[in-house]
Amino acid sequence: MRWLVGWSSTAAGAVAAGSAGATGSEGETLHPVGSQLLWGDPDPLWAVGDWRPDEVRVVKADDRTRIAVLGICGATDEQLRVALFAARGGALRHLTAWPGSYTAIVQVGRRITVCGDLAGARPVFHTPWAGGTAYATAALPLADLIEANLDFGHLAALLAAPDVPAALHDSTPYDGVKRIPPGHALILRAGAREIAGYEPVASLAVAAPPADPDSAVDAVRDALVEAVRTRLSAPRHVPGADIDPGPVPGMGPAERRAARGMPVPGIGADLSGGPASGALALLAAGLPGMPGTVLGHGTGAGERLLAVTFNDLAVGGREAELERAGALAANPRLHHVVVAGGEETLPYADLDGPLTDEPGPCLVSAARHRARLAAGSADHFTGYGARQVLDAHPARLADLLMDRRRRHLVRPVAALTKADGSVLVPARVYAAARRLSRTPYRSGVESLAERLLDPRSDDGLDAPGGALDASLAALTWGRPGPAARWLTGEALAEVSVRLQASTHRSELVGPGQRPGDFRARAALARHAADLRVLEQAAEVRFQRLHAPFLDNQVVRAARALPEALRVRPGARAAILRTVLEGAGVRELPPGWGAPTQATEAAAERTGLRVAADSLVALFDTPLLAEAGLVEARVVRKALRGAAAGEPLPLDGLADLVALELWLRRLLSRRGTCWTGTPARQRAVPAGIAPQRGALGAGAGGGRRV
């Protein structure tokens, strides 16, 4: 896990002079454990973790004017210097417009600016501390710093309404630690904080001018190619080259690497057979240069890119996908590796793992991902985020109605009609889209708050059964999450109160609240947060996962795609096909772009059935029940029912299991992110005390099972 941390104090005297740290309550000088000081007092900044040398750059104009960029950034040092001078006047957006995935921090005198990204994959957190403000790109270090307790309201919202930004707002699992929203920057002036957006906001009053589809797709292609090229031009790394113990009798270099659990040197990519991973693998292999492994290491094929395909032997149904992956891997610049996984790689099979910064549903399948990534390269491309960035959220149908573009609803509605087989589909979809287009955001949030409190509103807590049900459920400003049906009445009431309180915040009535665009951005932010958790949970030492679809410039280019183009069935595959054609890749296997999510659901159900006994035992005395979020017997009954084949929302059960695992790992951790031990405590020092009042443990079980 890698992060940066710093603070801005109200006065230079608040910091221990010349120590590049701060004096704690016991008189000790605080430093992050395992840190690298980037600049010192009175507003110090550290990089913590196993950062590579080329991932940390600091450019100075003078002692009080400097910029630090951490991550993969395509800007040259001269470009950083020019941007630093421009940032003196308060300009922010240009700091986020370079290719790559990075965090930029600018210091001009006592003013510090920390830029988050557009997707939310590289978030920024902050908390009041020592009369000023501490900030970091991870929440747990700040929670340790202030010895924060858990925010049970946030945990309840994470289960009851994870897709509704109004429920989560700027909170984190740690009480007192806040998150800045995607597309914003944290600005600190001598300890005082301000959060400012750096993206222009569209107006509801005037529709955006229609974009040219061809030029919009070309912009996506250029941004994606530049994102891949930036990573290919970065220095290559040989994992663990400085700690290789040398020859071992009977073991070659590859066997020694595998025994140490280290990736192959060089660059590789996922090759699942889907359009996103396939497009990235072909782009990386086709760009000029030598994209693959480092000569003399690994396979020895220096010009070939390592393509990794996961073959699930425990669950069938992926034959066509594997066949497409094999056809793509016939490219002479690809070296294909197939990783076979049995029952030991099913979801829920292996629930041991490291503590992540925040909880996420991917914790139940982290071992599955780790098995695939362990066969990958030191720099590994993944297609995560393509669906959320390029696809059309169903709520965008309401945006088309708001712009009086009804004819563009014909294709998506026809596809839903074909999938469902009912002649009533067009009327139902049109009515739902029309209702959403005429519902203000405030009314939508208030309706959701009332639905959580009404035990008779079972329709809001049902799991969508098919494509039509999922689309109709998405044609709202917000709906309960899949785990809401198992929460206690008090937990749902807490989330309802949070939603009602959010309607009084001024930002809800501002411009830019188009339902489809709003829901799409919320879905992207949640996916990016889940990917961040996955990176930490399935981390392979010395490996870097790259998700170019979540880069700022790719997200910006994708947001300029016309909605009429997005809502067409198969739009994502068509866009990526055009991107590949523009990059010189024209021959793709038959069926390329077919949906691949059904097999994931089958694997999750199989894994739950195999691990049912251990999961039921996990909820014998769950911490979630101590926190007043669930009743143990209700969850145990749901787990047994899902294992027996009852049509229950599996993603809701994954949310519950993952949060329980995360709480157990958090409370069992030893040590802290800061020096000063034993004087320094850590986050949640008192553990979980039974909740009363807003979250009472005995306040009624889940709604239904």
What CA–CA distance (Å, rounded) separates 7 from 469? 48
Instruction: Report if residue 516 sits inside a domain.
Output: no
On whether both 222 and 95 belong to a single domain, the answer is: no
SS3 579: helix
Mean residue pLDDT across the chain: 84
Reported as type and span, the H/E element at residue 159 is helix 152-160
635 falls within a domain: no
Note whether 190 and 315 are same-domain residues: no
Q: Among all chains, which residue has been given the structure tokens 């979630």?
A: 624
Task: Pick 137 or 303 by higher pLDDT.
Answer: 137
Name the domain count of the chain. 2
> Is 52 domain-assigned?
yes
pLDDT at 285: 87
73 and 34 in a common domain: yes
Same domain, 227 and 91: no
Helix (H) or strand (E) holding 48: strand 45-48
What DSSP element (H or E) covers 445? helix 441-453
Q: Which of 578, 601, 624 is the last residue of a domain?
A: 601
Using DSSP's 3-state secondary structure scheme, residue 507 falls into: helix
Instruction: Name which residue leads in pLDDT, 1 or 574.
Output: 574
What is the secondary structure of 365-376 as a DSSP string?
GHHHHHHHHTTS
Distance set, CA 327 to CA 134, 375, 415, 420 (Å): 51, 20, 28, 32
Q: What whole-number distance in Å separates Cα of residue 428 and Cα of residue 423?
A: 10
| Length in residues, the chain | 705
Using the predicted structure, report yes or no on whether residue 222 has a pLDDT greater than 80: yes
Residues 35 and 63 in one domain: yes
Q: For residue 286, name the pLDDT band (cuts at 50, 70, 90).
A: confident
Domain's final residue, options 575, 601, 627 = 601
Q: Which helix or strand (DSSP H or E) is residue 60 part of?
A: strand 56-62
Looking at the structure, tell me whether residues 119 and 9 fall in a common domain. yes
Name the nearest CA neighbour of 282 among 227, 214, 228. Answer: 228
What is the pTM assigned to this prediction?
0.91
Going by their DSSP bridges, the two strands 22-23 and 45-48 should be labelled as unpaired
What local confidence, expressed as pLDDT, does residue 297 receive?
46
Cis ω before 347 (30° cut-off from 0): no
DSSP string, 273-327: SSHHHHHHHHHHHHSSS--SPPTTSTTS-TTSEEEEEEEESSS---HHHHHHHHH
C-alpha dihedral sign at 141, 147, 150, 153? negative
Q: Which structure tokens are listed for 469?
A: 């049900």
Residue type, 665: R
Q: Is residue 248 part of a domain?
A: no
Q: DSSP string spanning 402-436?
A: HTT-GGGGHHHHHHHHHHH--TTHHHHHHHHHHHH
* Triad 163, 529, 337: Cα angle to 5°: 120
> In whole angstroms, how large is the CA radius of gyration of the chain?
25
Tell me how far apart the alpha carbons of residues 653 and 661 are, in angstroms, rounded to a whole number: 12
Does 357 reside within a domain?
yes
Q: What is d(CA 592, CA 521) in angstroms, rounded to the nearest whole number?
A: 27
3-state secondary structure 510-543: CCCCCHHHHHHHHHHHHHHHHHHHHHHHCCCCCC
- Residue pointed to by tokens 């996420």: 360
Lookup result for tokens 């209702």: 435
Q: What confidence category does residue 332 fall into, taking pLDDT thresholds of 50, 70 and 90?
A: confident
Structure tokens at 192: 């005082």
- Mark whether 131 and 220 lie in a shared domain: no
CATH number of the domain that residue 114 is part of:
3.60.20.10
Q: Which domain holds residue 372?
A: 213-238+261-389+544-601
Element at 378 (helix H, strand E): strand 377-381
SS (H, E, C) 461-497: HCCCCCHHHHHHHHCCCCCCCCCHHHECHHHHHHHHH
Residue 203: pLDDT band (50, 70, 90) is: low
Residue 503, domain member (yes or no): no
Q: Could you give the CA distance from residue 78 to residue 364 in angstroms, rounded to a whole number?
A: 45
Q: Per the domain annotation, does 421 fall within a domain?
A: no
Q: Measured between alpha carbons, how far is 47 from 41 in angstroms, rounded to an integer? A: 15
What does the pLDDT read at residue 371?
92
Res 633: pLDDT? 95
Residue 253 main-chain phi, psi, to 5 deg: -60, -40
The Cα–Cα gap between 365 and 345 comes to 8
Q: Tell me, what's the pLDDT at 700?
A: 43
Residue 428 resides in a domain: no
Mind listing the pLDDT tens digit for each residue in 628-644? Answer: 999 999 999 999 999 99
If asked whether residues 178 and 231 sit together in one domain, one would say no
Type of residue numbered 30: L
Q: Residue 9: its pLDDT value, please?
A: 84
d(CA 694, CA 700): 13
- 71 and 187 assigned to the same domain: yes
Instruction: Identify the pLDDT of residue 445.
Output: 92
Q: Half-sphere exposure of residue 547, counting CA atoms within 13 Å on the CB side?
A: 24
Q: Which of 601, 628, 646 marks a domain boundary?
A: 601
**Do 190 and 75 share a structural domain?**
yes
The residue ranking higher by pLDDT, 420 or 382, is 382
The answer on 299 and 186 residing in a single domain is: no
The CATH number of the domain holding residue 312 is 3.40.50.620
pLDDT at 701: 46
Q: Which residue's structure tokens are 């038959």?
A: 590
Question: With 60 as the cut, is the pLDDT of residue 79 above it?
Answer: yes
Span 33-54, average pLDDT: 91
Distance of CA 175 to the CA centre of its chain: 21
Angle formed at CA 173 by CA 171 and CA 176, multiple of 5 degrees: 55
Whole-angstrom CA distances from 343 to 368, 460, 540 are: 10, 35, 21
Same-domain pairing of 308 and 363: yes
Strand spans (E) along 94-144? 100-108, 111-115, 125-129, 132-136
Indicate the SS3 state at residue 142.
helix
Q: Please provide residue 277's backbone torsions phi and psi, each rounded to the nearest 5 degrees.
A: -65, -40
* Separation CA 141–CA 120 (nearest Å): 18
* Mean pLDDT in residue range 573-586: 86
Mean pLDDT (whole number) for 564-587 = 87
Question: Cα torsion at 579, 382, 340, 290 (round to 10°)?
Answer: 70
Report the percent of the chain where pLDDT is more than 90: 53
**For residue 294, is it left (φ>0), alpha (ψ between -120 and 50) or beta?**
beta
User: 433-484, pLDDT tens digit by residue?
Assistant: 899 999 988 899 999 999 998 755 544 444 445 777 888 888 999 999 999 9
Helices (DSSP H) in 503-649: which residue ranges?
Answer: 515-537, 552-559, 563-566, 571-582, 598-610, 612-618, 623-626, 632-643
Q: What is the pLDDT of residue 287?
A: 75
